[in-house]
Amino acid sequence: MKTKIFLSVVLVAVTVIGFYSCKKQSDVVEASHLTLRLPEVPYSYNAGNFTGESDDLITLGRVLFYDTHLSVNNAISCASCHKQIVGFSDNTAFSRGFENKLTARNSIPIQNLTPLFFSGDSGGTSLFWDGRQRFLSSMVLKPITNHVEMGMNDDNAIAERVRNAPYYTDLFSKAFNGQSDVTSTKIAGALAAFVGNIRTSNSKFDQVQNGQASFSPLESEGRSLFFEKYNCGSCHHSVISPDGYGSTFNPASFINIGLDQNYSDRGLGAITHSPSDDGKFKVPSLRNVAITAPYMHDGRFATLNDVLDHYSHGIANSANLDQRLKGADNLPIQMNISEQEKTAIVAFLGTLTDYSMVHDPRFSSPFISQ
């Protein structure tokens, strides 16, 4: 009898909640008011040192990067998931797309992409967590046409949307020597030019390398632990070069670090269709790592301490676990990093933050809220 009453109450509650959620709500949204502000003379990006694009082309890319017109509902831009203030990553495990639905992976930070990304016939490297794109100019349009992220139907729809926004006529004309016609190829080129010129080279780590600063004792201890005792540099070698993603496309750039025994996300394996690549993901740059939480391809670790806990005693065994994380007995190693050592390593990783980059107006949104 009591059970019947309980189930009846549940039934009524479900019905009431159901009808309440179906209640008609207004479709009117209060408009946001923005002003497009660009400097009279374009910012200088010194692109000649890296990629060779003109400042006008990079400026066009900057506007496109921050423009919500590039999403199907005019609400999401590239910058919605790649926020400057957190090293062009997102401060959530999974970003939200145009319908507020969760994306499949954590937003990867953007900085110091190499000129190799721009080469056409040879070279190229691995973009996205699973390395499915090799060239920046083809990669930049993928999130725009992704059905969860920005939702545009195809490249032509992107071009049409940009063509209809009146402020692009002048920007395209300047960027392409007087030719103001809009094509998806030009959009991709401009976006790639901007993204490829987001550069960081003024962290404390860089200043120490250049003899302009010195590490504190704690940071020095962390550096020593990172490169020597725990040999983190064997995978994160690119942290010592200005180039955050230094390697060309190479399966060795993808590693299974023992996050799971069974893979809900195959990573590289889904691209190569090779079971031996299952659970392997790109080794990311550690530049700005202190401000790009959460970590891993699924944002499972909220803090750097959680990441160190994983290496300390949380590595899961699997057939594809990287050999560097296995002991002589072929089982996962337990680094057993002490709390003091963790503090030191985190302090060292903090020296990789480039505060000038995350506040640099050249990389900031040109759309200012009124």
Interface residues toward other proteins, by CB under 8 A: 3-4, 7-8, 10-11, 14-15, 18-19, 21-22, 25, 27-36, 66, 68-69, 72-77, 79-80, 93-94, 98-102, 147, 151, 153, 164-167, 262, 264, 294, 298-303, 306, 309, 365, 367, 369-370
Cα–Cα distance list, 319 to 254, 256, 260 (Å): 15, 9, 11
Q: Which two tokens stand for residue 327?
A: 């002991």
Which is closer to other proteins, CB of 294 or CB of 332? 294
- What minimum distance in Å lies between the beta carbon of 111 and other proteins? 22
Which is closer to other proteins, CB of 330 or CB of 369? 369
Distance CA 182, CA 172 (A): 7
Which is closer to other proteins, CB of 109 or CB of 151? 151
- CA 274, 275, 277, 278: dihedral to nearest 10 degrees? 130
Which is closer to other proteins, CB of 266 or CB of 280? 266
Contact 47, 121 (CB under 8 A): no
Which is closer to other proteins, CB of 17 or CB of 331? 17
- What minimum distance in Å lies between the beta carbon of 31 and other proteins? 4
Contact 81, 91 (CB under 8 A): no
Which is closer to other proteins, CB of 16 or CB of 240? 16
Q: Give the closest residue to 359 by CA, choosing from 83, 63, 45.
A: 83
- What minimum distance in Å lies between the beta carbon of 22 and other proteins? 5
Q: Which two tokens stand for residue 248?
A: 């060309």
- What minimum distance in Å lies between the beta carbon of 46 and other proteins? 27
- Cβ neighbors of 255 (< 8 A, separation 6 or more) are 235, 280, 281, 283, 322
- What minimum distance in Å lies between the beta carbon of 139 and other proteins? 21
Distance CA 43, CA 361 (A): 9
Amino acid of residue 149: E
- What minimum distance in Å lies between the beta carbon of 302 and other proteins? 4
